[in-house]
A and B are shown apart, each in its own frame.
Chain A
Amino acid sequence: MPYYPDQRYLLESTTIRRERFLPENVIGRAEVRDGASVNLRDIVARGRLPSPYIIVEAAEFFRLKDPDELKGLMMVEVGETVEFKTPLAQTSKKRQRLLSPDAGVVVFIGDGRIIIQTSPETLDLEAGLDGQVVGVQAGRGVTIETFGGLVQGVWGNGGRTIGILKIEPEDGLESIYGDQLNIEYRGAIVVTRKPLRATGLMVMEDQGIDGVIAPSMETDMLPQVQGGKQTVLLTEGFGSMRMSVAVMNLLTSLAGRQALLDAVQPSRWDARRPEVVINPSGRQTARPPRPNIDLVLQPGTMVRLTRAPNAGSTGQIIDLPKMPNLLENGLRVQCAQVQLLTGEKVTVPLANLEVFGR
């Protein structure tokens, strides 16, 4: 039977669809319509972050027999921003005036009550991509389609940045550490082939580097990286792994172009993956095809190996035995014979292979 492997895209040019949704705890709405063209910085959805609600018993204040009478007394509407002591409602002869107990936004008027959400912070959700809106989900956000190069990683620190994609100097990211400002990397997204270290983060801060694409980092750096201002994306995982040759080569070939580093932190509830979207070069008229989601493993397929002892290696499938193989640790699982770029032939469980999307 065909085996459909995991996919982690590594594509020079492809059509990309991405969702831009407000966080779960934000009440809001989409700000653009289906079919609209959007730019990177356009606001596609807007919402209010959680903050306390205050119930103002207006009908009680005015001693109204019928709560519906309140509507005729209102001086503000739902959605209006009010300050402390802003008049909310008053009787016709201004004998009685109900003042706002706090600054905020009027979110509800009815049943003889006014509800104010105190000074909610507004969250503006940017498109993050130049493209076209191809779907709107009420209250949540939009789906945007664009095209360009695409490199997906495995982990991100939640940051997002736009910059020119640059490869680290020959001596590594840490070699630009020093008192001298090296403007070459200022605002850039730098690719390093070696594991990210604390010194690398300091270099980023010192030199104004906005983002880094690294193969791996040790887990003890997590608090520092998660709390930092710089955007970090890992392509291989945690520990001390070097960057896959295939990933490094593609990023090298795309260096110098503007890129969006969307270092989404993986979550079980979020299908997004951390990735780099690289703007297409020149004027591209025809849309490239979308990645092939029905890829099956077959002899000749280029694959990335994801687990030790060959994690990060790239190779080509040379055989797919029908019977399960016995691994050296005693597990008996369905495997593929893979020839690595070194020429070495290895037997790898199908579950530990990823394809690149084409």
Chain B
Amino acid sequence: MAAERSSTSGSILAADFGNVLTRAILIDMVDGVYRMVARAETRSTADFPIGDARVALLRAADELNAVTGRILFDEHERLITPERPDRSGVDAFVATASTGRSLRTVLVGLVPEVSIASARRAAAGTYVDVVETISLDDGRDEEARLNALVNAHPDMVFITGGTEGGAEEPLLELAEVVRLGVKLLGERQPLILYAGNSILIPQIQALFKGVANLVVAPNIRPSLQREELEAAQLQLGQAFDRQQSSKGGFGELGSISRLGVLPTGQSYKLITEYLGLSMDGNVLTVDVGSAVSTLAASVSGRVTTVIRPDIGLGHSAGSLHDLAGEASIKRWLPFVPAPGQIRSYTLNKTLRPGGIPETLQDLYLEHALLRAAIDTLLHAAAPGWSESVMQVNTPLPPFKLIIGAGAGLTRAGNSGYGALLLLDALQPVGATQLQTDPYGLVAALGALAHLNPEAVVQVLDGSGIEQLGAVINVSGRPAANRTALKVKITTESGEVIKHDVPGGHLWVYPLGVGKHVKVDVRAVGRGLSIGGRGRWRGEVEGGSVGIIFDARGRPLPLAADVRGLAAQIPLWISEITGDPPVTIDESWLVMPEVKQEDEPVAKRRRRGAKPAAPKAPAARRGLFGRRGKTAEPMDDIDLPDMELDDEPQERRKDEDFLDELDQLRRG
């Protein structure tokens, strides 16, 4: 797990720079173990209008100071390190970032199935956009390869190939093409990462001397049977840091951080790997961010990571819409959207990525988008998992633990709602522990894992991650409203609770964090199972939601029509949150009404014709004609010099006829 460990640190400041939010956590020893002692969150400042990521860190440090009384930066805005006797400063600072552009990378290797495949896996944990692949058997001549490389405008060229003691000459030929390409790229030289046959290192160094910056890592494929990615991954992370350093403030941040600014995606990979090993089971972490989403899974001890810069709820909402398709969003909506409503919503999210839905329809849209995002990530990730653990008709192998991250999941208004979103989108089977990461701990701890794995373990075992609770899911197609799960719960005090959960429903047994119960559940009904078995027994831990029994079935029998969805979705939300169910208004279940054309004849104005006589002002409803509310006097507010729009917000007749004219023109 650790590639570059130093002596154990004392207090640690860990920060993660996202596209919308920057989060910082302060970690220190409490009673001999590392604990998160404070956290802070502020808007990111790397982009417009500030263009300096440090500003957000300073603001977060002010927040930490207000909570703990500890001063972290001096009067010159320099980080105080190491920690002083008066407890100001910290012993270490680590940083991760998911902001900024992915590294445009050209992969160069001998064989696609061997060295190139390993290079792709090494790159999976970093924000790498593979824009071109050059290999020995790509069927191109030198000139075509040169053109491909130069026109790709890479930030980095990742050269691999040759097992130890293996091929030399063909790899040098490819490296020659890279050298020539780099010369043609002029002032925008890419970084060269070499992680191939180590016997060629002196020749590769000579080849790129004075031409480009070269970084060397141990061979990622020392033999056909062995793959060693860790050192190359750290170099890739640091290459990301170097690219970031050209962006406002990241250069300075990298210089005060022990390992520079590492990619957040690597954190998910590292922490998932650690949890998979320590829990001896499959673990999945999913982070749906504004611009980038990450899904890391440890399945049968093998970790795969998918990082998608085109999937997100803010900056990438538009590309997610295009990628997932409107149908995959609409299938989660308990109302009929107006024509263009979904597209407008996603594009407006792209324009103002940090916004929060205020209306109920917008919230349903937001959560539909979130489910579609996770579903798309799953489809991208699942092919990389071992098929031997995949079960028939289930989208997922059984996972012992699922952690959700990103504001969309962790700030759903209610922990139960967050749990429901994870269940809907991932549809886990068997028994699973659900957690969320509301403080961005996983992202921040990844960088720390390289320096102080002990601190990572202890902080994760502490209270930084929110325990939602355990969930036991039924697979198959349970009959609606007939018992699908027979539940017997034995509490720590010996009390026995029995409950039948009907098909198509969720039931929550409230059990707080740190409390345990014994659960004995039987799947009742033809073809039903719990993770492939008829019965599941075990001890489970509670959480902020409790113990969830999901008798809806797998795959989830989502209604195909809006009326069915309007019954299902509010019911499930109510069952898991305990809030009263929302009744969907009948008007939501039909296509929003198109206004009658008052003036159907569209006439083009003739040459010299006078414009139409001014219309009589429409009757006003309030100053803006909105919601029929009457304006109140504003004597107590000093308003700027602004005119009020005295036109009603309602569509006017001339707008209606122009609508029709537009339709006619479009044919």
Asked whether any CB of chain B lies closer than 8 Å to the CB of A242, the reply is yes
Binds B, one of A50-58, A123-131, A254-262: A50-58
Q: Which residues of A contact B48 (CB under 8 A)?
A: 271-273
Q: Do the beta carbons of A318 and B637 come within 8 Å of each other?
A: yes
Q: Do the beta carbons of A329 and B357 come within 8 Å of each other?
A: yes
Q: Do the beta carbons of A237 and B344 come within 8 Å of each other?
A: yes
Q: Which residues of B contact A202 (CB under 8 A)?
A: 665
Mask, B142-171, CB within 8 Å of A = 1, is: 110011001101000000000000000000
Q: Can you list 11 residue pairs at the A/B interface with Cβ under 8 Å? A: A4-B43, A115-B146, A139-B188, A180-B607, A220-B340, A245-B644, A272-B48, A293-B49, A316-B639, A331-B413, A344-B632
Q: Do the beta carbons of B637 and A307 come within 8 Å of each other?
A: no
Chain B residue at minimal CB-CB distance from A202: B665
User: Bound complex: CA of A152 vs CA of B63, how far in Å?
Assistant: 31
Query: How close is A114's CB to chain B, nearest CB, in angstroms?
Result: 12
User: Bound complex: CA of A314 vs CA of B623, how far in Å?
Assistant: 13
Among residues 1 to 41 in chain A, which have CB atoms less than 8 Å away from a CB atom of chain B?
1-2, 4-7, 9, 24-25, 27, 29
Q: Do the beta carbons of A55 and B352 come within 8 Å of each other?
A: no
Q: Do the beta carbons of A331 and B357 come within 8 Å of each other?
A: yes
Q: Do the beta carbons of B153 and A25 come within 8 Å of each other?
A: yes
| A55-B411 CB under 8 A given contacts A316-B639, A328-B360, A331-B363 | no
Q: Which residues of A contact B362 (CB under 8 A)?
A: 307-308, 329
Asked whether any CB of chain A lies closer than 8 Å to the CB of B184, the reply is yes
Asked whether any CB of chain B lies closer than 8 Å to the CB of A174, the reply is yes
Q: Apart from A4-B43, A111-B180, A239-B341, what 10 extra A-B contacts exist at CB < 8 Å?
A: A25-B153, A113-B180, A174-B658, A238-B344, A239-B344, A239-B348, A268-B316, A293-B55, A339-B634, A349-B356
Number of interface residues of A (CB under 8 A): 89
Q: Which residues of A contact B348 (CB under 8 A)?
A: 237-239
Q: Do the beta carbons of A199 and B658 come within 8 Å of each other?
A: yes
Asked whether any CB of chain A lies closer than 8 Å to the CB of B612, the reply is yes
Q: Do the beta carbons of B358 and A308 come within 8 Å of each other?
A: yes
Show the binding face of A for B, using Cβ within 8 Å. 1-2, 4-7, 9, 24-25, 27, 29, 50, 52-55, 107-108, 110-111, 113, 115, 138-140, 154-155, 170-172, 174-175, 177-180, 193-194, 197-199, 202, 218-220, 237-239, 242, 245-246, 248-249, 252, 266, 268-269, 271-273, 291, 293, 300, 302, 306-310, 314, 316, 318, 327-333, 339, 341-344, 348-349, 351-352, 357
Asked whether any CB of chain A lies closer than 8 Å to the CB of B593, the reply is no
Chain B residue at minimal CB-CB distance from A314: B642
| A52-B639 CB under 8 A given contacts A198-B665, A218-B344, A332-B413 | no
Chain A residue at minimal CB-CB distance from B609: A178
Q: Do the beta carbons of A108 and B642 come within 8 Å of each other?
A: no
Q: Do the beta carbons of A237 and B351 come within 8 Å of each other?
A: yes
User: Bound complex: CA of A27 vs CA of B182, how far in Å?
Assistant: 12
Q: Which residues of B contact A53 (CB under 8 A)?
A: 143, 146-147, 150, 184
Q: Which residues of A contact B622 (CB under 8 A)?
A: 342
Asked whether any CB of chain A lies closer than 8 Å to the CB of B185, the reply is yes
Q: Do the beta carbons of A249 and B642 come within 8 Å of each other?
A: yes
Q: Which of A1, A6, A269 contacts B66 (CB 8 A)?
A: A1
Query: How close is B335's CB to chain A, nearest CB, in angstroms?
Result: 13
Asked whether any CB of chain A lies closer than 8 Å to the CB of B59, the reply is yes
Q: Which residues of A contact B637 (CB under 8 A)?
A: 316, 318, 339
Query: How close is B532's CB to chain A, nearest CB, in angstroms?
Result: 36
Q: Which are the 10 A-B pairs with shortest beta-carbon distances?
A: A139-B187, A343-B632, A331-B413, A238-B344, A329-B363, A239-B344, A198-B662, A178-B605, A219-B343, A349-B356
User: Bound complex: CA of A50 vs CA of B19, how far in Å?
Assistant: 31
Q: Do the beta carbons of B611 and A197 come within 8 Å of each other?
A: no
Q: Do the beta carbons of B642 and A343 come within 8 Å of each other?
A: no
Chain B residue at minimal CB-CB distance from A350: B356
Q: Which residues of B contact A349 (CB under 8 A)?
A: 355-356, 358
Asked whether any CB of chain A lies closer than 8 Å to the CB of B50, the reply is yes
Chain B residue at minimal CB-CB distance from A274: B351
| A197-B642 CB under 8 A given contacts A4-B43, A108-B183, A329-B362 | no
Query: How close is A171's CB to chain B, nearest CB, in angstroms?
Result: 6
Q: Which residues of B contact A248 (CB under 8 A)?
A: 643, 645
Q: Which of B51, B351, B609, B666 contacts A154 (CB 8 A)?
A: B351
Q: Do the beta carbons of A291 and B644 come within 8 Å of each other?
A: no
Asked whether any CB of chain A lies closer than 8 Å to the CB of B223, the reply is no
Query: How close is A262's CB to chain B, nearest CB, in angstroms?
Result: 14
User: Bound complex: CA of A271 vs CA of B340, how far in Å?
Assistant: 27
Mask, B638-649, CB within 8 Å of A = 1, is: 111111110001
Asked whether any CB of chain A lies closer than 8 Å to the CB of B393, the reply is no
User: Bound complex: CA of A320 vs CA of B315, how far in Å?
Assistant: 27
Q: Which residues of B contact A309 (CB under 8 A)?
A: 358-359
Q: Do the beta carbons of A7 and B655 come within 8 Å of each other?
A: no
User: Bound complex: CA of A357 vs CA of B351, how far in Å?
Assistant: 18
Chain A residue at minimal CB-CB distance from B364: A329
Asked whether any CB of chain A lies closer than 8 Å to the CB of B173, the reply is no
Show the binding face of B for A, using Cβ within 8 Å. 19, 42-43, 45, 47-51, 55, 59, 62-63, 66, 101, 142-143, 146-147, 150-151, 153, 180, 183-188, 291, 309, 315-316, 340-341, 343-344, 347-348, 350-352, 354-360, 362-363, 411-414, 417, 579, 604-609, 611-612, 614, 622-624, 626, 629, 631-634, 637-645, 649, 654-655, 658-659, 661-662, 665-666
Query: How close is A106's CB to chain B, nearest CB, in angstroms?
Result: 11
Q: Which residues of A contact B579 (CB under 8 A)?
A: 330
User: Bound complex: CA of A157 vs CA of B455, how far in Å?
Assistant: 49
Q: Which residues of B contact A2 (CB under 8 A)?
A: 59
User: Bound complex: CA of A341 vs CA of B665, how far in Å?
Assistant: 38
Q: Do the beta carbons of A331 and B356 come within 8 Å of each other?
A: yes
| A341-B642 CB under 8 A given contacts A1-B66, A4-B59, A178-B606 | yes
Q: Do the beta carbons of A242 and B649 come within 8 Å of each other?
A: yes
Q: Which of B147, B414, B659 contacts A52 (CB 8 A)?
A: B147
Q: Do the beta carbons of B642 and A246 come within 8 Å of each other?
A: yes
Q: Which residues of A contact B51 (CB under 8 A)?
A: 271
Q: Which of A29, A198, A245 contacts B666 (CB 8 A)?
A: A198
Q: Which of A154, A273, A329, A339 contacts B358 (CB 8 A)?
A: A329
Q: Do the beta carbons of B352 and A154 come within 8 Å of each other?
A: yes
User: Bound complex: CA of A273 vs CA of B634, how far in Å?
Assistant: 34
Q: Do the beta carbons of A178 and B604 come within 8 Å of each other?
A: yes
Q: Do the beta carbons of B188 and A27 come within 8 Å of each other?
A: yes
Query: How close is A83's CB to chain B, nearest CB, in angstroms?
Result: 20
Q: Which residues of A contact B659 (CB under 8 A)?
A: 197
Q: Which residues of B contact A300 (CB under 8 A)?
A: 638
Q: Do the beta carbons of B316 and A171 come within 8 Å of each other?
A: no
Max chain A CB contacts within 10 Å: which of B356, B608, B611, B649? B356
| A333-B186 CB under 8 A given contacts A4-B42, A266-B351, A341-B642 | no
Q: Which residues of B contact A180 (CB under 8 A)?
A: 607-608
Q: Which of B19, B187, B351, B641 contacts A155 (CB 8 A)?
A: B351
Q: Do the beta carbons of A343 and B351 come within 8 Å of each other?
A: no
Q: Which residues of A contact B352 (CB under 8 A)?
A: 6, 154, 237, 306-307
Q: Which of B101, B356, B631, B638 contacts A333 (CB 8 A)?
A: B356
Query: How close is A158's CB to chain B, nearest CB, in angstroms?
Result: 15
User: Bound complex: CA of A327 vs CA of B417, how far in Å?
Assistant: 15
User: Bound complex: CA of A11 vs CA of B644, how far in Å?
Assistant: 19
Q: Do the beta carbons of A327 and B645 come within 8 Å of each other?
A: no
| A199-B662 CB under 8 A given contacts A239-B344, A308-B358 | yes
Max chain B CB contacts within 10 Å: which of A7, A175, A219? A219
| A6-B661 CB under 8 A given contacts A53-B146, A108-B184, A316-B639 | no
Q: Do the beta carbons of B358 and A348 come within 8 Å of each other?
A: yes
Max chain A CB contacts within 10 Å: which of B50, B101, B347? B347
Q: Which of A179, A238, A242, A342 contacts B347 (CB 8 A)?
A: A238
Q: Which of A6, A108, A220, A272 contacts B43 (CB 8 A)?
A: A6
Query: How close is A256's CB to chain B, nearest CB, in angstroms?
Result: 17
Chain B residue at minimal CB-CB distance from A218: B340
Chain B residue at minimal CB-CB distance from A327: B358
Max chain B CB contacts within 10 Å: which of A113, A115, A246, A342? A342
